[in-house]
Amino acid sequence: MTEEEDEEEGPPGLPPGTPFYMTPAGAEALRAELRRLWEEERPKVVEVVAWAASLGDRSENADYQYGKRRLREIDRRVRFLRKRLERVQVVDPAAQTKRDQVFFGATVTYARASDDAEVTIRIVGIDEADAARGDVSWVAPVARALLGARVGDVRRLRTPGGVEEVEVLAISYPDPPG
């Protein structure tokens, strides 16, 4: 399978054609990265490659070889970002009307039955997930277990250590604009 075919398949573990949900901030971060790569970084690398090519022998020219490699990396990432942005479905958590249930964009605090530890996560898009910040992809097992739950609901979560029960303690969304 080529890299481009792999990009078309969709989120890992989900059927092809599954949408790429993102928060407005996540989608804007991808757009900003695309702009930075295309408008700033790529032109600088092209300039270095052109300069290095003008020096003659390209076979032992490290600036030329590194520049060409970096251009391929940038172009590959630009293709990925463009394809992703074509298919992204921006979901604004602040616009959520059913705020008593866990949906995409919710910040959820839950307790693990095994040790009564309280954990707070925010359910975000695949490209926005960052465990260190508590941002969990909506396709992650914990997010899947919590989706649709209300405060007080107990859900079963499959973990590498077995099935664990978690109780939803709190659900919140950003305040709507206005």
Contact criterion met (CB below 8 Å) for 110 and 118:
yes
Mean pLDDT calculated for residue range 76-81: 94
Report the percent of the chain where pLDDT is more than 70.
91
Q: Against a cut of 0.95, is the pTM above it?
A: no
Q: How much is the mean pLDDT over the chain? A: 88
Show the CA angle centred on residue 173, arms to residues 169 and 178, nearest 5°.
150
The pLDDT score that the predictor gives to residue 23 is: 95
Three-class secondary structure assignment of 32-93: HHHHHHHHHHHHHHHHHHHHHHCCCCCCCCHHHHHHHHHHHHHHHHHHHHHHHHHHEEECCH
The CATH architecture annotation of domain 3-9+19-90 reads Orthogonal Bundle (1.10)
Give Rg (Cα) of the chain: 22
- The full set of domain ranges for the chain reads 3-9+19-90, 93-172
Mean pLDDT calculated for residue range 37-63: 89
Positive or negative, the CA dihedral 157, 147, 128, 119 is negative
Confidence of residue 137 (pLDDT cuts 50, 70, 90): very high
Confidence of residue 167 (pLDDT cuts 50, 70, 90): very high
Rounded to the nearest angstrom, the gap between the alpha carbon of residue 50 and the centroid of all alpha carbons in its chain is 35
The CATH architecture annotation of domain 93-172 reads Roll (3.10)
The pLDDT score that the predictor gives to residue 2 is: 46
